[in-house]
Amino acid sequence: MKTISRKQEIITVASSLFNEKGYKAVSMRDIAKAIDIKAASLYNHIKSKQEILSEIILKVAEEFTTGMENVVSENISAIKKVEKVIELHIDITVNHSQALAALNNDWMHLEEKDLIAFVKMREDYEENFRKIIKQGMDTGEIKSYHPEVILFSILSTLRTLYLWYQKRGKVDVNILKKDMVSVLIKGIV
């Protein structure tokens, strides 16, 4: 019978606390207490508080990056790509909803090296999304509103999904995907 490593437990517990109060408001003693050990003992498993944050954030950031790269490289219509991006977000949200809180709110507390890497990933991601939308406008699949407004509107919804997912409890993933695709792509009128 295999149990998860203590390091993973620390990261999971920290994710949950960061999710509630934010990185800066959670102390190493808070994390330790939640695991029922002393703060100093954490350092047998992790290098620093920074390391915890960076593991949480960069791991999901990489999932977004590779997921987006897969979508972009597929030979399908722009709308179909947008659909796949929506599904990517929902999958990650369902599996790592607490990590997304840190990713969205605490990325600025990454140390310089990680911060630069993160911002780069984020910009590349947005740029890829932008290209998909422009492709859709070129082919006439997507209406020619200001592309930045469309990009922002969809991405905002997807990035905030973790908040609603946590509040409403476990919604069925497939229903969620279907509804989100409908609302985001077809609009409400």
Where on the chain is the footprint of DNA (CB under 7 A)? Answer: 5-6, 26-30, 32, 36-45, 48-50
3-class DSSP state for residue 144? Answer: coil
Question: In this structure, what token pair is assigned to residue 167?
Answer: 């509040």
Question: Of these partners, a copy of itself, DNA, none, which one is at the site of residue 49 (CB under 5 to 8 Å by kind)?
Answer: DNA
Q: Which of 70, 95, 139, 153 binds a copy of itself (CB under 8 A)?
A: 153
In the complex, least distance from residue 184 CB atom to DNA, rounded to whole angstroms: 38
In the complex, least distance from residue 114 CB atom to DNA, rounded to whole angstroms: 13
Residue placing its CB nearer to a copy of itself in the complex, 38 or 179:
179
DSSP string, 19-54: HHH-GGG--HHHHHHHHTS-GGGGGGT-S-HHHHHH
Q: Which of 3, 47, 108, 172 binds a copy of itself (CB under 8 A)?
A: 108
Question: In this structure, what token pair is assigned to residue 95?
Answer: 């599996």
With binding defined as CB under 8 A, does residue 145 bind a copy of itself?
Answer: yes
Are 137 and 49 in contact by the 8 Å Cβ rule? The answer is no
CA dist list (Å): 148 to 4, 25, 42: 43, 34, 44
In the complex, least distance from residue 1 CB atom to a copy of itself, rounded to whole angstroms: 38
With binding defined as CB under 8 A, does residue 43 bind a copy of itself?
Answer: no
